[in-house]
Amino acid sequence: MRLMVSGGGTGGHIYPALALIERLKQIEPDTEVLYVGTHRGLEDRIVPAAGIDFKTIKIQGFKRSLSLENFKTIYLFLKSVHDARKMIQEFKPDVVLGTGGYVSGAVLYAAAKMKIPTVIHEQNSVVGITNKFLSRYVTKIAIAFQAAKEQFPEEKVVMTGNPRAQQVANSKSDFSWTELGLADDIPTMMIFGGSQGAPKINTSVVEAIPTFNDRKYQVVFATGQKRYQQVMTQLGEAQVGHNIVIKPYISNMPSMMPKVDVIVGRAGATSIAEITALGIPSILIPSPYVTADHQTKNAQALVDQQAAEMIKEDQLSGATLAQAADKLMQDAPLRQAMAQHAKEMGMPDAADRLIAVLRDAQN
């Protein structure tokens, strides 16, 4: 298969694409892939590092208020469609996949107008503006949350899940908590707010640490690279128990996650895919700063299936975090039930499902 992929801006658009590409090359080693992104997005660093051919086009998003900048946006869109057409003519893809972000709008629009089979993958429960625009032009639409179905033309939609789920579900781990000075036979909770950390989550953990010190469970807390020193300053002279490990960043997250009993963190699409694929109970704290509050809707999908607890950020404090942690960490049967519910939501063959959609789009 000759596959052109476009998606960028955030890891949530990039990592599912990389997981899909990895699986496709396992099945069809002679697969050829060209990834089209922008030089400003995370894809500019992540995709070439993964050994995938990468090209860029220049584009930007619309301002939500009236702005002269939107005239430049229209110009850049039209130019990027022209540039994308050239790349498509040169690469000659069998199918083009878009995973979100403004760049995929230009690339898939160009491909659709050239009668090339096109597929978009929507990772979230609330459909992004680019995928809404593309939905009328593309051949097929793959979704990861059932709630997204009603936001698209029904006849094009296929439920596939997030390819990242299959990548995580198939990963092997020989990690031991002893590497962090902890024990393997004690329930362990991991707390993180993304690679950069989340200030409100960090502050709440600092407030909860005196409570965690007295508990018979372990806590691994990743502050985010840029916020580690701030957290240590906030802690001051406060005692941190031997059952708590504080790190700026967790580099080996994939090998560590299968050993985690409860995860506390944001409700981005990739995180949801990972925790459901592995069947991990979670306490989700949706970011209130994302478009259309989609993380709250992502989290609610798990809460509705009794697979997670949710604390909204305006209700988050050291006390509410400690209370939610105690509820799960001190009740093994509850954790087991939640783990089962999470696993039932997971789609461990998500990449294979999406590959099937790509093939179907060509027919």
CA–centroid distance for 15 within its chain: 7
Helix orientation angle between 318-329 and 199-213, rounded to the nearest 10 degrees: 60
Q: Decide if 296 contacts 267 (C-beta within 8 A).
A: yes
Judge whether 194 is annotated as a binding position: no
Judge whether 250 is annotated as a binding position: yes
Judge whether 11 is annotated as a binding position: yes
Judge whether 195 is annotated as a binding position: yes
**Joined tokens for residue 140:** 């097929």
Judge whether 124 is annotated as a binding position: yes
Residues 223 and 363: their CA atoms lie apart, in Å, by: 48
Contacts by 130-134, CB closer than 8 A, 24 or more apart: 130/98, 130/100, 130/101, 130/102, 130/104, 130/105, 131/98, 131/100, 133/105, 133/109, 134/98, 134/104, 134/105, 134/108, 134/109
Residues 16 and 18: their CA atoms lie apart, in Å, by: 5
Residues 286 and 310: their CA atoms lie apart, in Å, by: 8
**């009236």: which residue's tokens?**
66
b/e map 226-240, b = 16+ CB within 10 Å: ebbebbeebeeeeeb
- Show binding-site residues for UDP-N-acetyl-alpha-D-glucosamine: 10-12, 124, 195, 250, 295
- Show binding-site residues: 10-12, 124, 195, 250, 295
